[in-house]
Amino acid sequence: MCADKADSCRENAKLVCKMGGNPFLMPRSNASSKARGYQEWKRMMLFREEHPEEFERRYHKRSNAESTNASLKGKYGEFLRSRRWHMQMREAGLRVIAHNIRRLIRYRIREEVELLD
């Protein structure tokens, strides 16, 4: 699980491990690697120190998700028009499908242009 500095704390690292995941929480600039009773935090900080490229590669998945969410909100707006929960889920799913189709079309057009050049 990836999270930014605002969500980076020892309790969250422990919760992620308890749920069966691996925490990739970007620590704050003044964060200590001391466990203070949370061995999960110490393990995460040691992994970050020993394998900085791998930590950054895994943490970067968060920015991909953030970019996709920003793109969806920018194109289709932040709010859903449906009132009922199951219809909101359907509307959100259709927005994602429409977004993916648009991306595929743009990719195909870009590839054809590069092939013709």
Q: Domain tally for the chain?
A: 2
Mean pLDDT score, 24-47: 86
In this structure, the answer to whether residues 95 and 70 fall within a common structural domain is no
In this structure, the answer to whether residues 114 and 83 fall within a common structural domain is yes
What pLDDT score does 115 carry?
A: 58
| Burial track 36-59 (b if 16+ CB lie within 10 A, e otherwise) | eebebbbbbbebbeeeeeebeeeb
Supply the range of the domain harboring residue 83. Answer: 79-117
In this predicted structure, the answer to whether residue 52 has a pLDDT above a threshold of 70 is yes
In this structure, the answer to whether residues 6 and 58 fall within a common structural domain is yes
In this structure, the answer to whether residues 70 and 84 fall within a common structural domain is no
In this structure, the answer to whether residues 25 and 65 fall within a common structural domain is yes
In this predicted structure, the answer to whether residue 68 has a pLDDT above a threshold of 80 is yes
Give the global pTM.
0.59
Mean pLDDT score, 24-34: 84
For 1-117, list the strands marked E by DSSP: 2-3, 24-25
